Every structure is written in C-alpha cells, then in structure tokens.
C-alpha cells in the first residue's frame, strides 16, 4: 500500500502546474501587439488657411476650416524594457507604433468626399510606471492572475501618409502628407498570468487595454483643383488625436526568482511537534520570516522549559532552503532568527541570554539540489544549553 501511495504522489508531482503570479523583480523586457481604434470621428481644424483670391475654385465653392475623418480598425505594437522593484511597482521605457487606414473624410466645403485613401500612423517613445496587484495582500489568497494599472508620458510623431479624398460635388482634391511630433500621455489596464508551466521562469502572458492621446499635431494640408493644377487652399490641420488599443503580449523577467508552488502542493510549513529534548524547531513559509500561530506556541514552550531546566544560554540559529541565491538566503535566515529571538524576549527571556546566528542555506536539514524548495530547511533551531 505504501508503495502505491508513493507512485501516486510521484505522478501528481510530475504534472506541470500553473504557478501563482508574483511581483516582478529586476530587469525585464516585453512586447505586445493587437488592434487599434482611432476615436471616430476625429476632428480636424485647419489653421492658417490661405486662399489666393479663390483662384482656381469652381463658381460658388468656398473652402472652410472644419472637417472630420473616420478610420478603419488598425493595429498597434509596443516593445519595452523595464525594472521591477519586487513590491508590485515597475518602471519602463516603451517604443510604440500604430497604423490606421482612413475610411471617410467630411467637411472643408468638399462634401461629399469620395475616393478616400491613405493612412494615419504614429510612433514614439513613452516612460511608464505600473503597479501590479497581489491578491494575497488583500486577504484573497494566491492567484494565477495578476491585474495591473499604469500610466505614461512621452513624445509621439503623427504621420499622415498620402491622406487624400476627392469631392464628388466639385472635383477638388484634399491631400495631406506630413509628420508632426507632440507630447503624448497614456493610461493602461491589464492582467498577467505566468507561463512557468512551459519551463521558463519569469515568462508571463499579458492582456491589456491602452488609451493614448497627444497634444494636437499640426499636419500641412492642401486642397487643389485638378482642372487647373492649382492649390486653391493650404494650411495646417490641428488633429484631435486619441487612440484605443487592445493587445496581447509577453513579458520576460530576466532574473525572476522561482515562483512558489500552488497551495495544494505546499508541504506543511510547521513541524507537527518540536524536538523532544532541548532542541526546538520553528518552521517558516517559503520566502517568509513572519511567525505563525504554531511557531509562537513552539517558542513559548522553549521559553517555559528554559526556566525549568535553568539553562545558561539559548542558541537561536536561522536557516533557509536553496530556492534563492546564497546571498539572499543568508539575509532571510538572519531575519527568521531575529524574529524568533524577538518572540523569546517578549516571553520574558533576557536578550543577554540569547545567541543569534544565521547559516543561510549552508546547513540543510534535508540535503537538496540547488533551487529546490524544501519546507524542513526553512527553519530556526532553538537550543537550550
């Protein structure tokens, strides 16, 4: 029967599991692509419009300064490099590109406008700040999904690439083929889920919505009469520019620590009972140094027995498993040892009676390979001398 149980446990542990989402730590890179909508209709106002004595205009035709345009659904792409601070805060630099084909042009005294064509493209650089929400901080437990919000500012160039239209009423041709850069801003909301089940620590799938706007770019525009070959009006369009994008992407944290296992696979974080003699073991959750209720009970038993046996010295030694770097584990074991010593003092033990040491991952209770999370190695030993 024991042999069958061992086989079942081995089979369950060998099935890839979805890891819990965790805050980004250190350098990361990202890329995303998706659909882009321009806020339709986009308002266009011509400033500095000049008409040279209406030369070349058909009789009864007058060019005005107000127009609008609608655009087809286009596409957008971003690439980024950033830094995660391990507490949910991230900062990054982003490059972006968007492209939408014109669908219709109205106004300017040209209606109705047909034979429209051309593209509105934009590209620029943004600096973004994000906050990744951790459900555990709100008492909701771990989750494979991690929502995030962000905002950014930067500079974006708007490019009217051969934007054109022909008035069906009088044959005048509208044309804009110019580029202008302006200050840009954006708001971002998304959700991420880790792809560690593919065997790549730090790889995350993202889905997000982005709103991006700019100050009004100014695009040089002409209206010409093909019959005479003359430009009958010229000026700059002030474009009311807003974009809405929905994207899927990948984010890769280059030095992300291994994610904790799912709760169902987590081994008990506290030993069922302390050692029977003068040694007491206090266990900790993965990557944690706070004391559980059971840990405080064990420390209380050690404090009570230290008075009963009249110990002359209490040794407190902190340890960690091998799932992190040696330097990080050394600091983590020190924090665990300090937490236990502090609880002993709170139980009435003089601080002068306590010796605190930290061994990091150098003295495992259960020998493991590097990177393995072993619950029994995440401990503090209390020894009464």
* Structural fold of domain 15-253: Porin (2.40.160)
Determine the pLDDT at residue 59.
53
Q: Where are the domains of the chain?
A: 15-253, 267-384
Determine the pLDDT at residue 54.
45
Q: Which parts of the chain have pLDDT scores under 50? A: 1-17, 49-55, 272-277
Alpha-carbon span 129 to 84, nearest angstrom:
10
271 vs 68, 280, 378, CA distance in Å? 71, 10, 11
Neighbours of 3 (CB within 10 A): 7
Alpha-carbon span 81 to 251, nearest angstrom:
9
- Could you report the per-residue pLDDT of 196-223, keeping only the tens digit for each? 777 788 899 999 999 999 998 988 888 8
Class of domain 267-384: alpha beta
Determine the pLDDT at residue 350.
83
- Could you report the per-residue pLDDT of 185-200, keeping only the tens digit for each? 999 999 999 887 777 8
**H or E element that contains 365:** none
Helix (H, G, I), strand (E, B) or coil at 254: coil
Determine the pLDDT at residue 130.
97
Determine the pLDDT at residue 348.
84
Determine the pLDDT at residue 234.
79
Determine the pLDDT at residue 3.
45
Longest CA–CA separation in the chain, Å = 113
Determine the pLDDT at residue 39.
85
Residues 382/345, Cβ–Cβ less than 8 Å: no
pTM of the model: 0.59
């Amino acid at each position: 029967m024991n042999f069958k149980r061992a086989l079942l446990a081995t089979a369950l542990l060998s099935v890839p599991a979805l890891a819990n989402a965790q805050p980004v730590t250190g350098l990361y890179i990202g890329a995303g692509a998706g659909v882009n909508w321009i806020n339709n209709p986009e308002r266009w106002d011509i400033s500095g419009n000049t008409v040279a004595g209406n030369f070349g205009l058909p009789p009864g035709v007058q060019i005005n300064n107000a127009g609008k345009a609608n655009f087809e659904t286009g596409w957008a792409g971003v690439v980024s490099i950033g830094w995660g601070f391990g507490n949910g805060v991230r900062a990054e630099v982003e490059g972006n590109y968007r492209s939408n084909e014109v669908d219709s042009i109205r106004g300017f005294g040209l209606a109705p406008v047909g034979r429209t064509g051309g593209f509105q493209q934009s590209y620029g650089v943004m600096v973004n700040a994000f906050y990744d929400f951790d459900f555990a901080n709100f008492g909701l437990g771990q989750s494979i999904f991690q929502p995030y919000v962000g905002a950014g500012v930067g500079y974006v160039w708007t490019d009217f690439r051969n934007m054109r239209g022909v008035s069906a009423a009088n044959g005048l041709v509208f044309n804009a083929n110019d580029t202008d850069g302006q200050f840009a801003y954006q708001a971002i909301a998304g959700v991420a889920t880790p792809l560690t089940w593919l065997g790549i620590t730090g790889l995350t799938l993202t889905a997000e919505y982005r709103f991006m706007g700019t100050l009004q770019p100014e695009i040089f525009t002409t209206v010409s009469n093909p019959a005479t070959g003359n430009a009958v009006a010229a000026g700059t369009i002030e474009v009311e520019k807003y974009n809405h994008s929905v994207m899927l992407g990948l984010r890769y944290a280059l030095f992300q620590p291994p994610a904790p296992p799912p709760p169902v696979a987590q081994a008990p974080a506290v030993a069922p009972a302390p050692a029977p003699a003068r040694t007491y073991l206090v266990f900790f959750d993965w990557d944690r140094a706070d004391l559980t209720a059971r840990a405080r009970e064990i420390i209380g038993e050690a404090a009570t027995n230290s008075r009963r046996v009249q110990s002359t010295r209490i040794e407190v030694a902190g340890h960690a498993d091998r799932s992190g770097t040696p330097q990080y584990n050394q600091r983590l074991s020190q924090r665990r040892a300090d937490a236990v010593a502090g609880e002993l003092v709170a139980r009435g033990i003089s601080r002068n009676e306590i010796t605190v040491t930290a061994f990091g991952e150098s003295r495992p209770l259960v020998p493991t390979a590097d990177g393995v999370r072993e619950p029994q190695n995440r401990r503090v030993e209390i020894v009464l001398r």
